[in-house]
């Protein structure tokens, strides 16, 4: 409760209220057609899109961590929910809504466990491939309603297979409506956007064409009005086993989608969102959406940007938007049922096109090959496999690409040099009697960070240097970080030294590197008297090992 109070404890005046009212109203006008379209595309129906916009929009605004964010149905969530509806079947929507409830609970847990901040570590190539894949899916799925054909199961692959047969039986009325709607969405003058958004104009023109002239085009059909009924999922062991995977998909998609939108809001407002609180708010919204038969949602980039540009700056704008939608729902059904499905297809085709990351694609010839491969793999798997697998494999591929780059950087930070004894022991009396060409001591300076990226190459590279000396000093003075893999490589270096009868000295060890090495017992084979504070102390130990005087020159 204290967090909620703090969330609304800002300087609020009449000017801020006016901005929030206008922002909420504008976001409603922009989001209404999209919510209807996503509801139909998901297989739950148009009203489910509105219910989802109300539930997620209100509770994410009140409990979330991004003050100016507008939440509701989005492309990724609609695509994921369409797969869930197909899996559950049209006669078992109660199970589908139960999955939505479970997804919301998972999101709340992700927020409570403070996992939200890790989304910021997702490489841009993975995000780009994922979002572009979502855009392609939306476009493919809308081709059939665009030409007046019925949707099919099987996702994008099923739609592609059905297109040749659908083309032979085109509904030209639907095609004309969809084309007109798409044209309005593309060509609507920019200066009119603020006063009358292109999505609403496209919906209006498409609906008028369908009602007045092209009446043969398929329409949404009867839509219930009034307050939603309560859907209580039947929880059982079998249900949980089947529901965990799709619920996890929806939860992860909603989390990624929302936090990416939060970053966009931050860049526009120069503020900083609370990622974990945002996940809790989104989770509460999706849980409620599941209970009232709504489409799950996330932070909506378009709605958020429109809200900010119209003056909305606090959670009040999101709450106002949800209130306006609730008012519309009470008497909206009779007006929505005559909207042509082709008009929604035209709107979604434009939405899908905008979701594709053209900023990345247009610079594809300048992108590093590794990042391009990651983007293409993620996009391909998103379209033709499933969303979570696409992101998971994309992250693995991105990690491997990053590791390759880190390997070079980390190995470049290693300095392994033989040093002439007379040079190394300058300032000590023993230097005067040493053979001028002898180099019995080698120093291996490990600078910066060392991780699994360079661990395999590190042992191969350094082992040869260790064999060439009677004494080897591992200098950790400038070492900042060592992970478990690199710590075990240090142990291997020590083992190589022991095998080759090379004495080993550790210098400058402390902080995180020492903690990592001692935690894994990696330096247990080195006597404590051979572990010294700095390189100067290491010289004295090396002199003793070589049987030389340790007295300094006067």
Lookup: tokens for 482: 């060592």
> Among candidates 14, 26, 117, 108, which has minimal Cα distance to 68?
26
Rounded Cα distance between 133 and 239, Å, is: 29
Indicate the burial class of 552 (C-beta count within 10 angstroms; 0-12, 13-18, 19 or more).
exposed
Rounded Cα distance between 184 and 198, Å, is: 7
Strand partners, 299: 71
Rounded Cα distance between 256 and 275, Å, is: 10
Tens-binned pLDDT, residue by residue, of the chain (554 aa): 444 445 544 567 787 888 888 788 778 877 777 888 888 888 888 888 889 999 999 999 999 988 889 999 987 888 888 888 877 776 677 888 889 999 999 999 999 988 877 766 677 788 788 778 878 888 888 888 898 888 776 678 888 888 888 888 888 998 999 999 999 988 888 777 766 778 778 888 888 998 888 888 888 776 666 777 777 776 666 777 778 888 888 898 888 888 878 877 886 777 888 888 999 999 999 999 999 989 999 988 778 877 887 778 889 999 999 988 888 777 766 677 788 888 888 888 887 888 788 888 888 888 778 778 888 888 888 888 766 677 777 777 777 776 666 666 556 566 666 677 777 788 777 777 777 677 788 888 888 777 766 666 666 667 777 777 888 888 888 888 888 877 888 888 888 888 888 888 999 888 888 888 888 888 899 898 999 988 888 888 888 888 887 777 76
- pLDDT computed for residue 71 by the predictor: 92
Quickly count: other Cβ atoms within 10 Å of residue 515's Cβ. 13
- pLDDT computed for residue 316 by the predictor: 92
Rounded Cα distance between 36 and 203, Å, is: 10
Q: Kindly give, in sequence order, each residue whose CB lies less than 8 Å from that of residue 105, ignoring residues fewer than 6 positions away.
A: 283, 287
Indicate the burial class of 81 (C-beta count within 10 angstroms; 0-12, 13-18, 19 or more).
buried
Single pTM value for the model? 0.70
């Amino acid at each position: 409760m204290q967090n909620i109070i703090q969330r609304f404890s800002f300087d609020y005046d009449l000017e801020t209220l006016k901005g929030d009212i206008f922002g909420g109203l504008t976001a409603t006008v922009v989001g209404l057609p999209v919510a209807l379209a996503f509801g139909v595309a998901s297989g739950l129906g148009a009203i489910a899109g509105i219910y989802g916009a109300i539930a997620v929009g209100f509770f994410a605004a009140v409990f979330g961590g991004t003050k100016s964010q507008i939440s509701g149905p989005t492309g990724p969530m609609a695509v994921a929910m369409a797969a869930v509806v197909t899996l559950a079947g049209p006669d078992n929507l109660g199970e589908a809504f139960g999955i939505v409830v479970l997804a919301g609970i998972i999101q709340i847990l992700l927020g409570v466990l403070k996992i939200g901040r890790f989304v910021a570590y997702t490489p841009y190539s993975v995000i780009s491939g994922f979002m572009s894949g979502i855009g392609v899916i939306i476009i493919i799925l809308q081709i059939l309603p665009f030409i007046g054909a019925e949707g099919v199961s099987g996702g994008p692959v099923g739609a592609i297979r059905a297109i040749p047969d659908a083309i032979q039986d085109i509904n030209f009325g639907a095609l004309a409506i969809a084309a007109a709607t798409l044209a309005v969405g593309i060509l609507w003058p920019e200066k009119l956007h603020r006063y009358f958004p292109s999505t609403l104009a496209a919906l209006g023109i498409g609906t008028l064409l369908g009602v007045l002239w092209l009446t043969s085009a398929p329409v949404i059909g009867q839509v219930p009005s009034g307050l939603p009924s309560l859907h209580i999922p039947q929880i059982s062991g079998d249900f949980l086993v089947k529901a965990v995977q799709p619920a996890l998909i929806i939860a992860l998609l909603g989390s990624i989608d929302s936090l990416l939108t939060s970053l966009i809001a931050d860049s526009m407002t120069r503020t900083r969102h609370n990622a974990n609180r945002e996940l809790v708010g989104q989770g509460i919204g999706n849980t409620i959406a599941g209970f009232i038969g709504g489409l799950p949602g996330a932070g909506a980039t378009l709605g958020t940007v429109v809200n900010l540009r119209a003056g909305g700056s606090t959670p009040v704008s999101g709450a106002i938007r949800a209130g306006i939608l609730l008012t519309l729902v009470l008497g909206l059904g009779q007006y929505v049922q005559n909207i042509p499905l082709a008009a929604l297809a035209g709107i979604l085709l434009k939405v899908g096109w905008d979701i594709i990351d053209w900023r990345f694609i247009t610079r594809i010839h300048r992108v590093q090959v590794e990042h391009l491969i990651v983007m293409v793999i993620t996009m391909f798997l998103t379209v033709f496999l499933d969303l979570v697998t696409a992101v998971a494999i994309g992250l693995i591929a991105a990690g491997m690409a990053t590791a390759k780059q880190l390997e070079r950087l980390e190995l470049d930070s290693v300095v392994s040099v033989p040093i002439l004894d007379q040079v190394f022991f300058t300032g000590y009396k023993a230097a005067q009697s040493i053979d001028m060409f002898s180099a019995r001591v080698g120093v291996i300076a490990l600078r910066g960070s060392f991780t699994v990226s360079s661990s395999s190459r590190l042992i191969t590279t350094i082992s040869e240097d260790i064999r060439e000396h009677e004494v080897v000093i591992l200098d950790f003075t400038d070492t900042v970080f060592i992970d478990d893999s690199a710590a075990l490589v240090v142990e291997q270096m020590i083992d190589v030294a022991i095998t080759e009868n090379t004495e080993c000295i550790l210098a400058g060890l402390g902080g995180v590197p020492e903690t990592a090495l001692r935690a894994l017992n990696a330096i247990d084979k080195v006597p404590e008297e051979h572990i010294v504070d700095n390189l100067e102390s290491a010289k004295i130990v090396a002199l003793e090992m070589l049987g030389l005087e340790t007295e300094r020159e006067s």
